[in-house]
Each structure stands twice: as C-alpha cells, then as structure tokens.
Structure 1
Amino acid sequence: MELSGARWRTTIRSAHTNCVEVADNLPGVVAVRDSKDRQGPVLTFTPQSWRCFVIRVKRH
C-alpha cells in the first residue's frame, strides 16, 4: 500500500506521550503508526472501521 502522501498527525489522546499517529487524508484508508517507530509497521483500516473504533473508544 502506498502511503507516501500520508499526512501524519498525533492523536489528541496521546499528545503528551506522543505514541500514536494517524493519517486520514488518503482515499479509502486510515493509517495508524507508532510515532516512536515511524519506519515500523503501519496498521490500516477502512474509514468506516476507523469511525466505529473511535466511537467505541470514546465511550470508555
């Protein structure tokens, strides 16, 4: 998967620990990575799956 155009941002919840970055500017995919290992693995989700995940996390 081509992620060279990804605009990574640190998530609000990890702003102080700088752990998770999300790129949601790519068509049809949301990418997530560890900000401490930017060359490491990237998880990808469909936008719908990502929205469901975020909704559930916010509930807890």
Structure 2
Amino acid sequence: MTLRPTYSPSRPAEEEQADKGIAWQVSRAADLEAQVVAYDVAIKENIEKALERMYRFMQRHG
C-alpha cells in the first residue's frame, strides 16, 4: 500500500517531506511483511522435508 499525499502549493515543504517519509515507511513495512511471510513458508517447507527424511530413516532403520 502506497500513500499518495495530494500536492498543494500552500503546504509547507516540511509536511511534504513528512508525507514522503511516512509513505516510504509504509512501503518498507509492506516489504518486510512480505519477507517474513516468505521466510515463514520456507521454514515450514524445510521442517516438512526434515520430518519426511526422518520418517523414511526410521522406516529403514527402525
């Protein structure tokens, strides 16, 4: 989600910069959230693979 502040010539430059900073932070938070989700999926897949290997090992050597 990207915030797009409306431009107004009467708005102080500090407010414009603050809005850009907030928009960047929101964008960065969304990127980080996507990374967390991707890592979560990868971790779950790795756990499932490890459990499958352990199960096969136990079947052979149990």
Give your verdict on TM over 0.5: no
Which one has the largest radius of gyration? Answer: 2
Return the TM-score normalized by structure 1.
0.28
- Ranked by relative contact order (alpha carbons within 8 Å, sequence separation 6 or more), the top structure is 2
Which structure: greater strand fraction? 1
